[in-house]
Structure formats: structure tokens, C-alpha cells
Amino acid sequence: MKRVIVSGANGFVGAAVVRSLIDKGIEVYALDLAGMNDRLPSSDLIKFIPYDLRESKMLPALIKEREFDVFYHFAWIGSAGSMRTDASLQLNNAVWCIDSLRAAKLLGCKKFVAAGSIMEHETMAAAYKQGNRPGLGYIYGSGKLVAHTMSMSVAAEIGIDLVWAEITNAYGPGESSPRFINTTLRKILRDEPLTFTAGTQNYDFVYIDDVAEAFYLLGKNGKPFCHYLIGSSNARPLREFVLEVNRSVAPNKEFIFGNIPFTGVDLPLSKFDCSKIEEDCGFVAKISFEEGVRRTFEWIRESEKE
């Protein structure tokens, strides 16, 4: 790869991917809202282009150059927090993903690599479980699932290679969203109560540097119209991860399990299989959960001092 486009380039995952790409000497056209480039390093390899996801159809007019190796699509409004439950917004995200896909074709991109989520599988399981009453969080998963299926059809129609990446749970320095690891570590630092579900549901976490490397390899080696899970290859019950956090950075804190009801779907460990990305792309996560949590905890501690 020599030249790529990255939408949502200033986001948690997008910025990590941009850093990884320029470290490899790849030129990056970074797309995000005007003024939203504080996470991006200073580099001659980065060309920042202000854009609004809702106006993705206009990208061929904003970018004059043509012929790119990959369009990485990370832009997604409401990927965390209360906006995950906004049905109209999540459906619009799927439409804007299609707009970006069509724009990528017009820009001469050979491949479109999109960021999906393991929640696509959870959403399917939740929808087809008799009598189940899934929580509002599955609206976000539904948006990702709709974007995935529609992108496959459109990509096939217009003739662009689609690679779909399903992230388990990315975490690490630089994250500001209220997702599980980030929230738990901040509660530890603020001496807030640490209460959880029973933690019997299967889960996985993957460190942000590993996620960035995975996306680089997907752009380079991912096969057309295949989907790949980006994870640690060490999925297990959530309780085991939480206890590792307890041992690693908060040995004197009390972690209480079972005080919060679990209303989601427990996926079998087979759904966390990362063998496809290992076989096709050579990706294997390198940062252990213990090491990743320590790095993240130190980053949060230093950032809160500031």
C-alpha cells in the first residue's frame, strides 16, 4: 500500500490506524470534522481533509486526487453512549456507510475496509431467541449489521473489493468513551463502587495497537467479500477479565459480582474465533490483557492529573 483514505481519522481506532500506517510510510488522506485532528501526529504523510460523514456523497468533490489502495471507514456517529440507542441515527449511519462506499469507488479506491462489530453476531442471536427482550444497546448492533449486509450488495454491484472487520472490544490509551474497560479503570481511580454482572457471559478485549496492526494487514491482505474478527484469540467469561483487572491494577479494591442483571446474549466461544484473520493476513494479537490494562491505567492516571 502507498496511499489510503481514512474516515473518522481522529477517533480512537481511526487515529491509531493512521499512526500505524504512517509509521509504515503510507500516505494518508485523513477525514474528520473540521478542527478534529488533535489525535493525529504531525507528519508530511498526512493530508487532513475536513468533512462531515452526513455529506459523504461529496467526497469525490472534496478530494481531487484519484487512485487509492484502500478506503478505511471508521466514521460512525454514536458508537458509544446514549446515541447507541437512537434508531434513526444508527440507520442513517448505515446509509452513510453506503454513501462512503460509493464515493470510494468514484475516488478510484481498490478496496473498502469497514469497521463492524462483534455486536452484529449478538444482535442476530438476540433477535432470533424466542421470547427474548433485548436491551436498547442492540440498536447500535443492528445499525452495524444493516451496514454490513447492504455494503456487500452494493460493493458487488459497483465492483469494489469489500473487507468487513468485526472488532470485539478495543481498549487502550486515548479512549474517552464510556465503554467497559475505560469506565472501570476510571471508577478505580475515583474510588467509586465496582459492581458488575455475574460475569459469566463470554467476552474478549483487544489492545488498540493490535487493532491498528490488524487493520493495516486487512488493507494489505484481506480477501474480497470476507469478514474478519479482530480479537485477542483468548476469549473467556467476562468475570475472568475483571478479576485480572483487579489483580493487575487494583488489588486492594473490592469487586462485587452479581449486583447488576445481565440482559444481553451470551455468545459461544466459537463466535470469537480469530483464525480467519490469522490465516489470511498473518495477524496475531501481541499485547496481553494484563499488559494492556496496565498501560491504559497509567495513561488514564496521568491524563486525569492534567
275 falls within a domain: yes
Give how many domains the chain has, as a whole number: 1
292 falls within a domain: no
For CA atoms 83, 214, 109, 16, give the dihedral sign.
Answer: positive
Which CATH number is 70's domain given? 3.40.50.720
pTM recorded for the entire structure: 0.95
186 falls within a domain: no
240 falls within a domain: no
Which are the contacts of 112, defined by CB distance < 8 A and separation ≥ 6?
Answer: 70, 71, 73, 100, 101, 104, 151, 155, 160, 161, 162, 163
Low-confidence ranges of the chain (pLDDT < 50): none
120 falls within a domain: yes
Range of the domain at 70: 3-172+204-233+268-286
- Tell how strand 68-73 and strand 27-32 pair up: unpaired
Rounded to 5 degrees, φ, ψ at 70 are: -145, 145
Q: Is 51 helix (H, G, I), strand (E, B) or coil?
A: coil
62 falls within a domain: yes
32 falls within a domain: yes
144 falls within a domain: yes
Beta bridge partners of 195: 256
